[in-house]
Structure 1
């Protein structure tokens, strides 16, 4: 038997000059340059290696505005088979709970999914919450912070969890939700052929009607998290000193300055 794998990916901002919605206190993502969350590439690579071993298909899912399609195409160019973009104004402003709910409903809609993969966290929010939330909605095991994954069959796997002060080995049965660390693997680069093929694949666009979700559990309405205030850290200019003279003179002066400030 083959594996049906879903990889949930996220587009994160490239720039630090982000705008905050003054009412919702959420990031304004539309129109901002983005890239695939780096940890999600490790999740895709994990899925591709499992497919190489057991066969099957890999479906990407992302939730966000229409321009998130570019990130899905990056995943398709790495070798994934299909992609779904969950995009609707009704999904906007979702916290991790509402996001996890919508993702889980989409996974249920795909039917008979064996394995759901996430990166360990996103680099913009750093919550590590969405994967575990999805596993709860799907009522299946969750294995987080995985640095090694060994498949004994297409229904049984062993994972090594790399935690702060220990390693933990877990054997589990599918279906399951797994979040992977960057130590898991080195993501492959898309080949020119796969990049070309990725633009020939259709990306399905699903909204709240496609999923028949509960309107009270999506977007801002379904988000119990309340952000009271958001502010940008103040930028502080540091005093600089140009070291003149020859290289040897500059090095001697640098050592004097470092010793004077107790850095050496």
Structure 2
């Protein structure tokens, strides 16, 4: 295998490994955000129920009700006006962004990202993706959360740093290099663009006729000398087959059965008198 193909293979598998880790960390962020939001709602409900009691046995709830606590006990909800609303809204936005980033990593639907989120589409690199992931990880790590959310956000921020570095190095070529469709096309031996690469014969560009493994050679205005290269004989055919190219026979223009004219009709026309 040539050195260039080895580098392409390593880059393909390396970038897809980073993409798999990115999707995994986003799923962990999604799950931890749901769990944290559920725990916050339970803590707020318990806080409201405890604040309505007038007994002096629960002094902590009374102190938090008086505004002496910065956060509601056992939650990430700040003890301030509309604190529960903004805490839940923050988690919902994180969940929504995690879903968008997962779809962006999967690459579906591509027209949606091209129209509404171009920086996450296939025409941009991994830098914007890494910046958004870093913002989400920092937003979670800036609060006192449980261990599950802490680990998920830490891994997300680490993957964000890797994506930002890859975006700076590879720029817009990163998503094209990790494309699975392009890799499958290359493994099947699909011919390159005739405008940029020559076919098996000099001066002849390959054109496809439906099957990616077969081609028909058509002259494109270059040298039509049959003696150039291997020519169109048996040696040229062997050389093309050795490279994985197969010359397809042209399809017949007429069907296998062509109705013949009747002799009686032709003779009657010949014997009929003129006007």
TM-score > 0.5, shorter chain as reference = no
Q: Per residue, is there more helix in 1 or in 2?
A: 2
- In terms of Rg, which structure is larger? 2
Q: Greater relative contact order (Cα 8 A, min sep 6): structure 1 or 2?
A: 1
TM-score (norm 1): 0.20
